[in-house]
Every structure is written in structure tokens, then in C-alpha cells.
Amino acid sequence: MKKKIKFFIGMVLVFTFVPYSFAQESWEKARIQMVEEQIVAYGISDPLVLEALRTVPRHEFVPEEMKELAYADTPLPIGYGQTISQPFIVALMTEKAKVKPQDKVLEVGTGSGYQAAVLSAMGCTVYTVEIIQKLVLLAEATLKRLGYQHITVKWGDGYFGWQEASPFDAIIVTCSVDHIPPPLIEQLKEGGTMVIPVGPPWSIQSLWVIEKTLQGLQVEDLGAVRFVPLTREIREK
């Protein structure tokens, strides 16, 4: 009798964990292929960025019905009218922000929490602000479940940055602005870098890389992008 119970438990474990680990393996394959075909092939070379994109399980940051598309070369809806950026754009912004392990980074627009997880995987301490409370709660839950550390998520208007946690080595803004929010410039360290899409809402914007130097701001324009706009309306859902 006891043997039968043990056998039964053994079978349950096998049928639960074998498909699980197969699934994990195929997600990993998809991720490695994504990095080769969509990221390395288009010129991203920072080994830390590439490694983070190979490890962060993007499929865990999208709604159930979007999982199969998680490693495709496209942004995806995450609910509440918002999107998770295309993997290449995440890689580009992270590389251009020149983040290094131990850096303190501000993200404006937490969304799914994916960009924050990439920064955490690179060894950064991340402060991330999101204006929709439901997304804050979801992102916090995802990041906690996956064990990401050194990420603090705040519900609020990221236009004002995060004064108490400043100054930052880098700032990544993942929603578009029609002007650079002055608090973000103030909260950037001398020598720090901000990556931010600038242009009209719901249209084409330019991705700017802004370096704060002793001589003032230096701007590099990386070209056309399309982001959801930075809004000023604090929402619960």
C-alpha cells in the first residue's frame, strides 16, 4: 500500500515538473534566439545588457494571452492601455544609458516591471515610478515572485522624478514627453545619462540621450521611436 502511494506521488511529481522544466527550457531557447536575431544583429554589444536580456523571463511580464509572443520583435499590450516595449528598444535604452553594476537608476514608467528587472539583473539599484496604481501592484508582485532585488516601485507622477532617492547615475524614461521634465535634469548626477523619448503624444518621437556635463547638456538623437505618452493623471486603474 505504502509503495503504491509513493509511486503515485512520484508520478505526480514527474508529470508536474518534467513538462515545467521542458517549458522553461523552450522559453530560454526563445530568449537566446531573440537576443541573437533582434538585439546582437542590430548592433547592441554591451555584454551586461545582452546577458540580462538572456536571463530575464520576459514571458512572466506579459498577460497570459500574450505569453506566446513574449520573445517576438514587437511591443505588447500589458493592459490599462499601456505596452511593454519591444526587446530591442529596452536593450538600446539600457545600453545608451551606460549603466554599470552598482549604479542607482531611475525609471519613469514601470509598466510591467520588465525594464526594472533588466536593470536589477545588471546589478543596479532601481527606483521606478508608475502612475497607474494597478500596474504598480502587478509589477511589484511579478518582481517579488521572480526574486528581483534592489527595486523600489512607487505610485506617482514620474514627471517629478524621485527627489529623496536622487541623484541618479542614469534615468530611463519609458513614456514620451513633449519637453524634458526639469526635475529629472536636476536629479541626474553630473556625468550621468538620461534616455528619453521626446516629441508629440501618440505620434512619432525622437529617442534622446542626454549627458549632463559641467559644460551643460549634450544631446544625441537616436532617431524615431513610438512610446505611450507621459500623462499627468494619477490613476488607480
Whole-number Å distance between alpha carbons of 196 and 93? 8
Residue 79 is given by DSSP the state E
Taking the least distance from each CB to ligand SAH, the nearer of 58 and 212 is 58
Contacting ligand SAH within 216-235 (CB under 6 A) = 228, 230-232
Q: How far apart are CA 195 and CA 221, in angstroms?
A: 10
Number of Cα atoms under 13 Å in the Cβ half of residue 106: 30
Instruction: Report, in angstroms and rounded to the nearest whole number, the Rg of the chain calculated over CA atoms.
Output: 19
The alpha carbon of 65 is separated from its chain's Cα centroid by a whole number of angstroms, namely 20
Which listed residue (56, 95, 109, 169) binds ligand SAH by CB under 6 A?
A: 109
- Considering the rule CB under 6 A, would residue 205 count as an interface residue with ligand SAH? no
Candidate list 53, 71, 99, 130; residue touching ligand SAH; CB under 6 A: 130
Query: Residue 90 or residue 210: which is nearer to ligand SAH going by CB?
Result: 90
The answer to the question of residue 87 lying near ligand SAH (CB under 6 A) is no
142 binds ligand SAH (CB under 6 A): no
Q: Which is nearer to ligand SAH, 62 or 210 (CB)?
A: 62
Distances (CA, A) of 27 to 21, 22, 101: 10, 9, 26
Q: Please identify, among the stretches 83-91, 94-102, 144-152, 196-204, the one whose residues bind ligand SAH according to the rule CB under 6 A.
A: 83-91
Q: Which of 74, 62, 229 is nearest to 139 (CA)?
A: 62
For ligand SAH, the closer of residues 118 and 210 by Cβ is 118
Site string for ligand SAH, 156-185 (x = CB under 6 A): -xxx--------------xx----------
- Binding of ligand SAH at residue 84 (CB under 6 A)? yes
| Residues 6 or more apart whose Cβ sits within 8 Å of residue 226 | 203, 204, 205
Q: Which is nearer to ligand SAH, 6 or 138 (CB)?
A: 138
Catalytic residue at 85? Answer: yes
How many Å apart are CA 3 and CA 126, to the nearest integer?
Answer: 51
Number of residues that bind ligand SAH (CB under 6 A): 24
The C-alpha atoms of residue 109 and residue 59 are separated, in whole angstroms, by: 19
Q: Are 71 and 22 in contact (CB under 8 A)?
A: no
Residues near ligand SAH, by CB under 6 A: 82-85, 108-109, 111-112, 114-115, 129-132, 135, 157-159, 174-175, 228, 230-232
Which residues are identified as catalytic? 85
